[in-house]
Amino acid sequence: MIRYRRGVDVLAMLADSGYTSYRMRHEHLMGERSMQKLRDGKLPSWAELDRLCTLIGCHPCDLLEYIPEPPGNTRRHPDTD
């Protein structure tokens, strides 16, 4: 499973870099739907992740982590359905 690293607040990181939700929408950097996904803690698309890393100045591994599923677990992650 891929998830945000513990303690990572992407919206706070954006704000620290000068990107408020108003600025993100006003400058067409990210739409409201994508911003809501961030608020809800849902994973972004690849394009959104690329944009986030560009704006914040980080690497995907700074935001996300991989947690291996136990062997034999075939349950699909709800965000991939």
Tell me the domain boundaries of the chain. 2-80
Reported pTM: 0.77
16, 59, 64 from 6: Cα distances, Å:
18, 16, 9
pLDDT tens, residue by residue, 16-54: 999 998 999 899 999 889 999 999 999 989 999 999 999
What class, spelled out in words, does domain 2-80 have in CATH? mainly alpha
Any idea how long the chain is? 81
Q: How far apart are CA 24 and CA 21, in angstroms?
A: 5
Helix (H) / strand (E) element for 3: namely: strand 2-4
Q: Is 7 helix (H, G, I), strand (E, B) or coil?
A: coil
Whether residue 79 is predicted with pLDDT greater than 80 in this model: the reply is no
